[in-house]
Amino acid sequence: MPTVRIVPVDSPARRKQFVELPYRLYAGDPYFVPQLRRDEHRRFDPRHNAFLEHAEMTLWLAFEGDAVVGRIAAIDDRLHNEKHHESTTWFGFFEASSAAVASALLAAVEGHAASRGSTAVRGPVNPSLHEAAGVLVEGFDDAPYALMAYNPRSYAGFVEGAGYARVKDLYSWELDLRQPLPERILRIADRVRGRYGVTIRPVSLKRFDAELEILKLLYREAWTDNWGFVPPTDAEIRQLAVELKPVADAELVLFAEINGEPVACAVCIPDVNQILKRMDGRLLPFGVVHFLRRKQIVNRVRMLLLGVLPKVRRLGLYPLLIAESTARAARGGYERGEVGWTLEDNHLINAGIEAAGGRRTKVYRLYEKPLA
């Protein structure tokens, strides 16, 4: 077998090899969605990625001879370790052509983590739980929705073979928007709306900054007790909002209010992966045509956020938000929708999605290895 050589990414040329590897590894895979190369380069540039204001990423490539056969990042997130009182290094942007390559790459992260005093390595995340996370272990028969991970079936075995064990599963659920919701869900939604005087309104893009402030408060408070959650910084939330604004459908970004107070949100985004699939990672020369035709191309939508403040969590706002979101999406011409990811042990929200007709279609697994 060829010797696996691990090389740090310490130059623009190496960075380009790091970014380009997935486009070559997945060539011909019908479900791989090539992200825009420009955006992938920006992920590793502190000038363009607000996450790097509180985290460091160390990158490596794996070579067999002159061929690049794998890549990985060690991610040290100061805010995560402070909030959760941990000394954890994460791994991410993981690609490997074989078990031997995977083992060598993960060993590089483990050595780095040990040198920093970390007690465990966990992952994958790209680069945090706010973005693509986990190894896909179920649901290989469809392309991923926007901002979700994708990988070959072999990756779970590669990671487990290197001594990692499951720490948490993340679920994705799919709804057929052409089918009506169960009557029980519609009755609950109507009852909640009437009993508590809940009003649902779409976001106003004309009041972008003010609406973003509301979303920040809801996002941070509604998810604060979730496993692994780190409140995103103002800069991170603004970065994501600005990136999604050109493709956002304002009718699918909803706030729930009681007596004028925002208490919940549901944020759905058109599945831009359906556009990116046609662009081969490049906006020019022809990618821009697909982008301009996005309303004719996109018929899927992903519920990116579904959050309710803890003080009103038992009122039944989840069914109301799901009912309102799916109705608006169906009226907008969308045919399928994904809700996710959700934590495997978030039984309240998982039960609500299933009761609404959601079918669990994908499972993403986070792994961990303690360090001696």
DSSP state, residue 233: P
Closest CA to 302 of 210, 115, 174: 174
Please state, as a whole number, how many other Cβ atoms lie within 10 Å of the Cβ of residue 2.
Answer: 12
Per-residue pLDDT at 292 exceeds 90:
no
- Provide the 3-class DSSP secondary structure of residue 207: helix
Helices and strands (H and E) in the chain: how many? 13, 15
Tokens of 127: 């680069």
Residues 6+ apart with CB under 8 A from 244: 269
Per-residue pLDDT at 281 exceeds 90:
no
Please tell me the pTM assigned to this model: 0.94
Between helix 99-115 and helix 154-161 the angle, nearest 10°, is 50
Whole-angstrom distance, CA of residue 40 vs CA of residue 27: 17
First-to-last alpha carbon distance for the chain, in angstroms, is: 30
Beta bridge partners of 169: 365
Whole-angstrom distance, CA of residue 239 vs CA of residue 345: 30
Which residue ranges form the domains of the chain, and what is each CATH number?
4-169 (3.40.630.30), 175-363 (3.40.630.30)
- Long-range contacts (CB closer than 8 Å, 24 or more residues apart) made by 341-345: 341/133, 341/134, 341/148, 341/170, 341/171, 341/172, 342/170, 342/171, 342/172, 342/173, 343/168, 343/170, 343/171, 343/226, 343/227, 344/168, 344/169, 344/170, 344/171, 345/227
Whole-angstrom distance, CA of residue 300 vs CA of residue 177: 9
Distances, alpha carbon 18 to alpha carbons 71, 135, 149, 289, in Å = 6, 19, 17, 28
pLDDT digit string, tens, across residues 24-40: 999 999 999 999 999 99
Identify the band that residue 61 occupies on the pLDDT scale cut at 50, 70 and 90: very high
Distances, alpha carbon 221 to alpha carbons 46, 70, 107, 202, 308, in Å = 27, 38, 37, 20, 9
Query: CA 31 from chain center: how many Å?
Result: 17
The DSSP bridge pattern shows strands 300-308 and 336-343 to be: parallel
Per-residue pLDDT at 289 exceeds 60:
no
- Mean local confidence (pLDDT), 79-87: 98
Identify the band that residue 89 occupies on the pLDDT scale cut at 50, 70 and 90: very high
Burial of 71 (0-12, 13-18, 19+ CB in 10 A): buried
Burial of 63 (0-12, 13-18, 19+ CB in 10 A): middle
- Mean local confidence (pLDDT), 129-141: 97
pLDDT digit string, tens, across residues 168-212: 999 999 999 999 999 999 999 999 999 999 999 999 999 999 999
Whole-angstrom distance, CA of residue 338 vs CA of residue 104: 35
Rounded percentage of the chain residues whose pLDDT exceeds 90 = 90
Type of residue found at 119:
T
Whole-angstrom distance, CA of residue 361 vs CA of residue 143: 11
Residues 6+ apart with CB under 8 A from 84: 228, 230
Residues 6+ apart with CB under 8 A from 198: 192, 256, 257, 258, 317, 320
Per-residue pLDDT at 286 exceeds 70:
no
- Predicted local distance difference test score (pLDDT) of residue 167: 98
* E strand segments, 164-289: 165-176, 198-202, 253-258, 261-270
- Predicted local distance difference test score (pLDDT) of residue 328: 97
**CB 301 within 8 Å of CB 269:** yes
Residues counted in the chain: 372
